[in-house]
Structure 1
């Protein structure tokens, strides 16, 4: 009898606790930045449901994804961690996280919440199936027990990048009236892609309205905190995948019912310029639901009972994007965006098969090759500066780089210093070439654990900064580091020689020795540097041999270098062709890069 009474009491206590705990509804759209939302200042956009939600909630004017592409950003959302600390920055990857890192909805589930995901995951690591009670395109909070609180995610894919790949028969938004950003040429393809994307965002907004109506019809609005946000910017070229406002600045609207207004410092119907980023979302949800935030999380709760002081910066990163290797980091405060490019010899517009499915991308490339672009429109197709600095208030399109202007030197030096501090404090393992990371991932320890233990991390980052600076004063030390004990240091030293091109001729003998390096990533970087000082035959021979490696990311690195050298890549084409499977379903990033190489070498 006593045990029965205890059970009844515990059940009643749990029900009472559940009544007090808020439901959480996440509505996540794909690939749209703030410029596509009417309430963020674009009168051409048609988003009445999101705009209405903003009048009932709080609109965040400084919300940012951590990466300008979905999978790495979603990793931040689900873990509360920075992917460059975890080894999960590259698009895409499946490197595991340490055992102590749980996908955060699991904490809610363990606390009695009913957790559902409908339905995209794409977390850029090995899935944790115990995270959700339901995860499918049928998943719904309606299947929970009576009075059980829920955390429900609905992903709206209608606005995904792929939505502009096939032209619609008719368009609701007039292409002739589309506002074009100054970096895009005024072509038929751009106007139609833009108009079609505005249509897709309008449809997405209608789906937001349907989800909110369903919540209201269920009588749950007064007990449910609603988040609406986009998973990254996009979708036309120079937005998604790129480190500008267009790629990282996302809409975020949060509506708290009156009974939970004490969990937010902001009143309904207002805006806030507090900087929030995707690493902050997981700890914020735990804070809102009364669950202790794990110490390992790198984010800061901005709502709830465990709120933390505002952050000074939103940190962003860019690693490999599908088959194209690149690397940048970014800081954004309330006025300036700072971007550091670590492979500045590469153009922004590297040929990426998925990006080139958009007619606008192909049109832009054609206009560049025909010489019909102005200076601002041409920048995308040229090598990058080592550093970029933009006044986001005066220059929302990020086209006027202030990095070399004396009046902004103090800002530049401050953000450069703070970027370096972030990289070292966060143990950014992205500075280790992926071909080496891939080998390390076969060990028992996670890449996160290895990053914490990497004794040379500061030296690796320092070498990358010297290598990417384009400053010849660093050349003697760069040459010295070509023989460093750490392979990642040797890799970046070789990159530094590539960046300085002919000025690195004095490093020839040291670079030749790298062709016998124990690490394929270093051999390939050495071959690239040798090519750029005129040692073309020996370089191409080494690159072709690298395509025989059993390391897929070494092969990809070599393919990326071969893509930059035009007709000189001819001797390696047969080996590249062997990387393309007969069955297209088996195609991987090696195959994509090999296809592009074979199709674009002029005299193949």
Structure 2
């Protein structure tokens, strides 16, 4: 009897130890908290991937990863260029609430706003960034210190301690616009094309050309750069994934793949339509973390997602609560939430001013443009330096473009509405189509409500934003009673609405609030000369306004419409103003004057170019002015 008892006791002990061993090994192989890897491609739209339907693409690795996860077909960057997008990604907050929407700007944010990897790091994660850090705020270096255990071109999970969970970001920059469009072809050839074997290269004649480009051998040669750059990235991602597999980390790692904004191109990057914001995005969740994925049996979803949602989502996957100031929603995790709409914004990019606000329900994309009299192809050195942009301007001058191809060279519509499912390259604007009146009304109302609740601080002229930032943060200013956004937005909403708004806009010039007066002047500048002729004297009387942005805007209007010599004198005085943003506003307005008026500022522009300590924004504007009026070659001494 004792022998039987001891036999069963020994057997039970062995089995118990075996079970504990299995459980221990399972825990070691699959940590309770997931590892997370971000694969971030630069400047790329979903239309260029095989998994999204592009039959000319050669991206087998990326396509296999996309097909292995859940594809987000309505994923949007909050900004249309890298630095505002990265600000929203790292903080989980919106640029138009914190004043961080102008590309490569340097305005402060509250010290209470922390980068989301800070919370992961405090929870024991190894956080690594490889390696972009353009967070678009004067707090850039604080954010870098607080976010990352390491941030460099050699950073990665491989530097963590044993069994430490990790969050690792990898940026792949060979699809950046500098490679695909802007830099000279020789530079692209050395960096991209020559790095691919002959059988990997996508031939010029094989690519799918967007409808808005004229199909010529020269354009195909330029646009094939995007396809080949993406192939090079496909190879680089393969190397990274092989390292994950070799270290047996795939089953314990949730992988995100996305782009930092829409494609690098002439009608995409920095533009307010969906082509500038819609990004490829996929999340691969291994079986061990299937409970964190609410899309278990789906290959794709049209649920709207923006970069505002990434920070709370990552924190949720790690079992952490998002701080209250984060306004996005976690779309993965134990308690995911769905957004009804995706809201996006585009502001100044380089020297070119812009202010568009957009919303999508996942199917339709509505955009409201608040800057009148500007084409989608604005005068901007970084873009006009590209051979493809110069080809397009040449074709246009020769009358060789069809209406769709010429559209980006015309004044932008005030409203745009595109069907993302049926209109791949977004060339059919449905905003004026009565069949889509209800869709437009629904999205327009949602956008209005969002902007009013957010008190969008980027409706301030940048000279004011800069001045405010010397004593407080834009966020704290817009949160105070000093920012009368309702009155400002009411006036801004009249921009581009036609002659029915002239009376209200003229009344707005007498408003006590200088920002209201500024938007009244902007709105009037979009009115036709014939409609403003009866009010010429009234407009001229306002040239003495004590708020410089109003004076500059009205001077440009009076000079453009009526050739007023006093208006010319006002613009001349502001060309040389010590405030960079007032000088920039004046030069930018001069760029868009009728050529017969614009060219008369040549000597003053040359004087400005000789000024010491000139900002890059002004230097680029001057280069564009002389390129347009003298045919002076656009030059960059270095290529990035």
TM-score by length of 1: 0.93
| Cα pair 2:58 2:202 within 8 Å, conserved | no
Separation (CA, whole Å) in 1 of partners of 2:379 and 2:623 = 11
Select 2:73's aligned residue among 47, 50, 61: 61
Alpha-carbon shift at residue 269 of structure 1 (Å): 7.0
- Work out whether 1:45 is the aligned partner of 2:57: yes
| Cα pair 1:255 1:268 within 8 Å, conserved | no
Q: Deviations over 1:334-372 (max 9, x none)?
A: 221111111231111112111123211111111111111
Separation (CA, whole Å) in 2 of partners of 1:100 and 1:524 = 37
Q: Report the 3-state secondary structure (helix = DSSP H, G, I; strand = E; otherwise coil) of the residue aligned with 2:263.
A: coil
Alpha-carbon shift at residue 448 of structure 1 (Å): 0.9
Separation (CA, whole Å) in 2 of partners of 1:554 and 1:220 = 54
Show the 5 A alignment for 1:378-417: 378-417=406-445
Aligned to 2:128: 116
| Cα pair 2:395 2:401 within 8 Å, conserved | yes
Aligned to 2:366: 338
Select 1:134's aligned residue among 117, 142, 150: 150
- Work out whether 1:107 is the aligned partner of 2:123: no
- Work out whether 1:145 is the aligned partner of 2:166: no
RMSD over aligned Cα atoms: 2.1
Separation (CA, whole Å) in 1 of partners of 2:79 and 2:322 = 23
Aligned to 1:252: 281
Q: Deviations over 1:276-324 (max 9, x none)?
A: 111000010011101111111111110012422x112211111111011
Show the 5 A alignment for 1:149-164: 149-164=165-180
Q: Deviations over 1:72-110 (max 9, x none)?
A: 111111111110111111112011111111111111111
Q: Deviations over 1:384-439 (max 9, x none)?
A: 11111122222222111111122222222222211111111111111111121111
Select 1:598's aligned residue among 600, 612, 626: 626
Aligned to 1:493: 520
Aligned to 1:452: 479
Q: Which moved more, 1:367-376 or 1:174-183?
A: 174-183
Which has the higher Rg, Structure 1 or Structure 2?
2
- Work out whether 1:79 is the aligned partner of 2:88: no
Separation (CA, whole Å) in 2 of partners of 1:260 and 1:602 = 62
| Cα pair 1:63 1:276 within 8 Å, conserved | yes
Separation (CA, whole Å) in 2 of partners of 1:188 and 1:482 = 51
Q: Deviations over 1:172-193 (max 9, x none)?
A: 1111122111111112232012
In structure 2, the CA distance between the partners of 1:466 and 1:17, relative to structure 1 (3 Å rule), is farther
Q: Which moved more, 1:187-196 or 1:419-428?
A: 187-196
Alpha-carbon shift at residue 147 of structure 1 (Å): 1.6
Alpha-carbon shift at residue 268 of structure 1 (Å): 6.7
Q: Report the 3-state secondary structure (helix = DSSP H, G, I; strand = E; otherwise coil) of the residue aligned with 1:274.
A: coil
Separation (CA, whole Å) in 2 of partners of 1:586 and 1:30 = 30
Aligned to 2:268: 239
Select 1:267's aligned residue among 265, 284, 296: 296
Show the 5 A alignment for 1:317-336: 317-336=345-364
In structure 2, the CA distance between the partners of 1:603 and 1:257, relative to structure 1 (3 Å rule), is closer
| Cα pair 1:229 1:252 within 8 Å, conserved | yes
Aligned to 1:559: 587
- Work out whether 1:166 is the aligned partner of 2:184: yes
In structure 2, the CA distance between the partners of 1:223 and 1:268, relative to structure 1 (3 Å rule), is farther
In structure 2, the CA distance between the partners of 1:517 and 1:286, relative to structure 1 (3 Å rule), is same
Aligned to 1:295: 324
Alpha-carbon shift at residue 64 of structure 1 (Å): 0.9
Q: Report the 3-state secondary structure (helix = DSSP H, G, I; strand = E; otherwise coil) of the residue aligned with 1:190.
A: helix
Separation (CA, whole Å) in 2 of partners of 1:54 and 1:582 = 52
Alpha-carbon shift at residue 522 of structure 1 (Å): 1.5
How many residue pairs match? The answer is 587
Separation (CA, whole Å) in 1 of partners of 2:614 and 2:216 = 36
Q: Report the 3-state secondary structure (helix = DSSP H, G, I; strand = E; otherwise coil) of the residue aligned with 1:569.
A: helix
Q: Deviations over 1:146-177 (max 9, x none)?
A: 12111111100111001132322767111112
| Cα pair 1:567 1:602 within 8 Å, conserved | no
| Cα pair 1:511 1:526 within 8 Å, conserved | yes
Q: Which moved more, 1:36-45 or 1:505-514?
A: 505-514
Separation (CA, whole Å) in 2 of partners of 1:20 and 1:369 = 63
In structure 2, the CA distance between the partners of 1:17 and 1:83, relative to structure 1 (3 Å rule), is farther
| Cα pair 1:18 1:147 within 8 Å, conserved | no
Aligned to 1:206: 235
Alpha-carbon shift at residue 582 of structure 1 (Å): 8.1
Gaps of 5+ in 2: 1-23, 633-640
Q: Deviations over 1:515-543 (max 9, x none)?
A: 33332211111212222330432222111
Separation (CA, whole Å) in 2 of partners of 1:357 and 1:442 = 34
Q: Which moved more, 1:458-467 or 1:497-506?
A: 497-506
Gaps of 5+ in 1: 1-11
Alpha-carbon shift at residue 16 of structure 1 (Å): 9.2
Separation (CA, whole Å) in 2 of partners of 1:579 and 1:602 = 16
| Cα pair 2:563 2:597 within 8 Å, conserved | no
Q: Report the 3-state secondary structure (helix = DSSP H, G, I; strand = E; otherwise coil) of the residue aligned with 2:129.
A: strand
- Work out whether 1:219 is the aligned partner of 2:237: no
Separation (CA, whole Å) in 1 of partners of 2:404 and 2:110 = 44
Select 1:426's aligned residue among 430, 442, 454: 454
Separation (CA, whole Å) in 2 of partners of 1:43 and 1:571 = 51
Select 1:27's aligned residue among 32, 39, 54: 39
Q: Report the 3-state secondary structure (helix = DSSP H, G, I; strand = E; otherwise coil) of the residue aligned with 1:533.
A: helix
Alpha-carbon shift at residue 468 of structure 1 (Å): 2.7
